[in-house]
Amino acid sequence: MFIEINDLTVHVDIQGPTGAPVLLLLHSLGTSLHVWDPQVAALGTEFRIIRPDLRGHGLTSVTTGPYTIEMLAGDALALLDALGVKRAHVVGLSIGGLIAQAICAAAPDRALSLVLCDTAMAIPPPENWHARAAMVRANGVAAIADAVLERWVTPGAQARAQARGLRAMLLRTDPEGYASAAEAIASADLTVSTSAISVPALVLVGDTDVATPLASAEALRYALPNARLLVVANAAHIPTLEQPAQISDAIRAFLQPSVTDWYEAGLAVRRQVLGDAHVARASSVITNLDRDFQAFITRTAWGGVWTRPHFDRRTRSILTLGLMAALGHHEEFKLHVRASRRTGATPQDIGELLIQVAAYAGIPAANSAMRLAKEVLNEKEEGV
């Protein structure tokens, strides 16, 4: 899809359940949102994934440079505003990692966490970037393609389809967009601002990356007070395509750590699905009679079931609606119809589901549920 923000027409791909935690994926210099394709395939049922083409890249419009990292961070924040996204886990590759750091520095309340992949706080020397920008403006991106590809993937991967795909992305990048973004890297030094970032962070680096080597990743890890470092084996500067499973698994493990407190995990999912307002109201009327019962529900149903990764949030929502309709649990059915605004289950999904309920659980049950669904869907959304 295309969205107008500031002076840009931004091309952005959005996938995943509506109510799931948001992942903002920011690609590297000279590529496009497609550098994240394997991660979307691996994580797209667990997260709401937003992938823009950066200014001057992919299908996003090109403006005359130079750009700055702060400008590109502003683009990303404006995109989140346009999409109505308040907070996101921010994942950045190379220049995308610089942008991710700048987002967190400029709007610390917007980033839930950071994943910084093959990046740094600064990538000197600036004269190299200015020389590369001048060459690209004069001779096109093809003039640097061979040298760039040698740094992007390991020698053993140069003949693979992923490397050919990276070359195609690079050659399709507008020269002005590439050169202007290169100038943004040249002027970037985020050492001071990044040291003040307190959100949880994961730093990833390919073990043979020479563009942003292990030393750069270690500097990031030490600068960030709440960060850990993972070295990606048999990878250079673009491990998202060269070692996609390692990257996807690392992101998942970081964002969905092993549950040690099922009550807290369940409470978090319950808030995401039913809304903070509903959970606050329900909690305010708990008495000694139902305190243990409410804890049991939160720990088992929400923590033990809704956190399971096999079904995405939308599918689990539809299953719950079907069961509540078939069993005639009308109050719970209405509750989950309201929650569908957060889970990604659409009115069309509910309509189709109730036809299934009519066939297998009886027309009276489906008819009652249909009437209730129409009432709820006509309500103004004020928080479940």
Instruction: Summarize pLDDT for 47-76 with one digit per residue, the tens.
Output: 999 999 999 999 999 999 999 999 999 999
Give the pLDDT score at 307. Answer: 87
Note the pLDDT tens digit of each residue in 147-196: 999 999 999 999 999 999 999 999 999 999 999 999 999 999 999 999 99
Q: Is the pLDDT of residue 347 over 90?
A: yes
The whole model's pTM is what?
Answer: 0.79
Question: When comparing pLDDT for 6 and 150, which is higher?
Answer: 150
Topology, domain 262-377: AhpD-like (1.20.1290)
SS (H, E, C) the chain: CEEEECCEEEEEEEECCCCCCEEEEECCCCCCHHHHHHHHHHHCCCCEEEEECCCCCCCCCCCCCCCCHHHHHHHHHHHHHHHCCCCEEEEEECHHHHHHHHHHHHCCCCEEEEEEECCCCCCCCHHHHHHHHHHHHHHCHHHHHHHHHHHHCCHHHCCCHHHHHHHHHHHCCCHHHHHHHHHHHHCCCCHHHHCCCCCCEEEEEECCCCCCCHHHHHHHHHHCCCEEEEEECCCCCCHHHHCHHHHHHHHHHHHCCCCCCHHHHHHHHHHHHHCHHHHHHHHHCCCCCCHHHHHHHHHHHHHHHCCCCCCCHHHHHHHHHHHHHHHCCHHHHHHHHHHHHHHCCCHHHHHHHHHHHHHHHCHHHHHHHHHHHHHHHCCCCCCC
Give the pLDDT score at 177. Answer: 98
Q: Is the pLDDT of residue 219 over 70?
A: yes
| pLDDT-based confidence at residue 342 (cuts at 50, 70, 90) | confident
Give the pLDDT score at 32. Answer: 98
Give the pLDDT score at 18. Answer: 78
| pLDDT-based confidence at residue 384 (cuts at 50, 70, 90) | very low
Q: CA distances (Å), 263 to each of 136, 259, 300, 384, in order?
A: 55, 10, 8, 20
Residues of the chain with CATH 3.40.50.1820: 2-255
- Among 10-19, 77-86, 88-97, 347-356, the range scoring the smallest mean pLDDT is 10-19
Q: What is the mean pLDDT of residues 314-324?
A: 95
Average pLDDT, the chain: 94
The answer as to CATH 3.40.50.150 being correct for domain 2-255 is: no
Q: Is the pLDDT of residue 260 over 60?
A: yes
Give the pLDDT score at 258. Answer: 65
Q: What is the mean pLDDT of residues 99-125?
A: 97
Q: What is the mean pLDDT of residues 6-29?
A: 92
Q: Is the pLDDT of residue 279 over 80?
A: yes
Q: Is the pLDDT of residue 294 over 50?
A: yes
Residues of the chain with CATH 1.20.1290.10: 262-377
Q: Is the pLDDT of residue 118 over 50?
A: yes
Question: When comparing pLDDT for 382 and 375, which is higher?
Answer: 375
